[in-house]
Structures are given as C-alpha cells and as structure tokens.
Amino acid sequence: MSFDDFIKTAWTDHGDQPLAVAERLTHSRHLVQDTRQIPTFARLVSHVYGEHLADWETGISLLQSLPYIESELAAQSAINTSIATLRYGRGDADALGSLTAIEQTTVLASTSSLFAAQQKLALAIHSYSEALATYEKLAPQPEQAPVHRALAVGGSNLAGTLEEQSNRSTTETTAMLRAAQSALRFWKLAGTWLEIERAEYRLCRSALQAGLRDEAIQAAQRCLDGCIQNNAPAFELFFAHAVLAISQKDQVDAFEKHRAAAIACLEQIPIGEQHWCEAELKELNQ
C-alpha cells in the first residue's frame, strides 16, 4: 500500500475504528519514505491518539520515533507541534514553552478540537480563543498553511460541537459564531472551494442556532453558489439546497424550491452515502 492510500484509508476508517487505525499507525512508519510526508502522518497520529483515544503516551512515543533531519524544519515543526498537542491535551501547562508563536497557535487550535471532541467545552473555547489571540499578534501574518489549516479545522469542529448543545449559554453561542466565522476565514487561506463551501454550510448552521436567520440565509446562498460555480457533485449540492431551504422555512416558495432541488440531488447520491443525509432530510420533511 502506498503512503497516500494508507492515509486516505486511515482517515476514512478512524471515526468508527480508532483502535484499529491506531494499531495500523504503529506498524506503518516504514511507509514514511520522504520527510515531506511527516506532517501528514504526524497530524493523523495526534488526531487519533488525542481526540479519539486520549492515549497520550503511546501517541507521543510514536511521534518521537519518526525520523527527521534537524535541517528539515517543516518535518521537525510538525513533530514538535503534534507532540505538544498531545501534551497540552493531557494537561501539561508547559507544553507550549519551547514552541514558536506560529507553532503555539497551531497547538492551541488543534487542542481546541481535541477538547471539543471530549465535550470539555470551556477548555475548547478557551484554547481556540487563545489560538486566535496568538495568531493576531503575529507580524507579518504567517503564510504557512499548517497554522491556517489548524485554525480552520479547530473553528469548524468547535462550532459544530457547540451547535449540538441543547442549553448553550450566551458565552457559548458567541463562541460558536466566532468559531464558525473564523473557520470560513482560515479555510479561504488554507483550503479549496470544497472546504470553503462546507465552511459556509457550518456558518449557516451556527447562525440558525443563534437565531440569526438573515446571516444564515446569506451563508447558505454562498454555499450553494460555490457548489454551482465548481460543478459540485450531487452530495454537496444536496446539503447546499437543504440548508438554504431550512433557513427559509418561513418563506414557502423558497423553501419548497430548494427542498425539491435537494430531494432531486439525493436521488443521484449512491445508496451507500445517503445515510449522511438523514438529518437534513428529516428537517426538510418536518
């Protein structure tokens, strides 16, 4: 199996099979043939061993065993930030001490996702707020994709987690919106049209949860526009039409128009993928 195939399969499987993927990771270091592959491998290790398993020591040991040359700064930074993410996640207050400001930002954003996944919401909100504050102090603004990607992922994950809370406080609602807005901001720097379109979807959902219907409609329309402009597959178009319909439930014509479009897209999605659409479909039929 090639390195790229291994990583793709691991990301596909890790949500349902984190222990199995962790086991694969421990026996797959030989697939890392180029130090340029280390950031991708390290990010997966810290995600699986941190967010899913909270197995800090095993994850740190695996990361420390990865080979790199000190002059290869990207690989070294990826290992350092991934180790620090696991250390900070387990509660090591000094985990950030030896890192650069950019690396600290990356770790804080990554641990926000980790804490959100473990329902440690206060820690998740604080960590992401610190990440944004640290980032804003950087001058000039960094061009490195890793920090932008970490801020994008962290914001999206935090917003999505807070959306699911039934009794959000005002502080949590504010944090949810800020996280969704930040996710969109940083995906525009680190992602493709697909990540940007999905960030618009996330922002729409957060705005709906916050009772900001106009903002939700605007984000949903941008989501759909991005899909159309990029010839998106039916899967993406389903969610874009669905969320635009849901955000306009009080406008009968608009709701029915986009509901019908979403259903038409659903019929084009392979049966094996339609289960991802169940929540939206339920809302469309309520």
| pLDDT tens digit sequence for 205-258 | 999 999 999 999 999 999 999 999 999 999 999 999 999 999 999 999 999 999
Name the pLDDT band for 164 (thresholds 50, 70, 90): very high
pLDDT over 80 at 282, yes or no: yes
Map out the domains of the chain as residue ranges: 3-216, 217-286
For 3-216, which CATH class? mainly alpha
Return the pLDDT at 68. 65
pLDDT over 90 at 115, yes or no: yes
Q: In sequence order, what are the residues at sequence separation of 6 or more whose Cβ sits closer than 8 angstroms to the Cβ of residue 277?
A: 238, 239, 242, 266, 269
Q: 125: closest CA among 85, 150, 157?
A: 157
Q: In sequence order, what are the residues at sequence separation of 6 or more whose Cβ sits closer than 8 angstroms to the Cβ of residue 148?
A: 142, 186, 189, 190
Q: Are 113 and 105 in contact (CB under 8 A)?
A: no
Share of the chain above pLDDT 90, in %: 85
What is the Cα–Cα distance from 144 to 149, expressed in whole angstroms? Answer: 9
pLDDT over 70 at 70, yes or no: no
Q: Considering only 28-37, 40-49, 162-171, which range has the smallest mean pLDDT?
A: 28-37
Coil, helix or strand for 45? Answer: helix
Q: Are 99 and 81 in contact (CB under 8 A)?
A: yes
Return the pLDDT at 226. 98
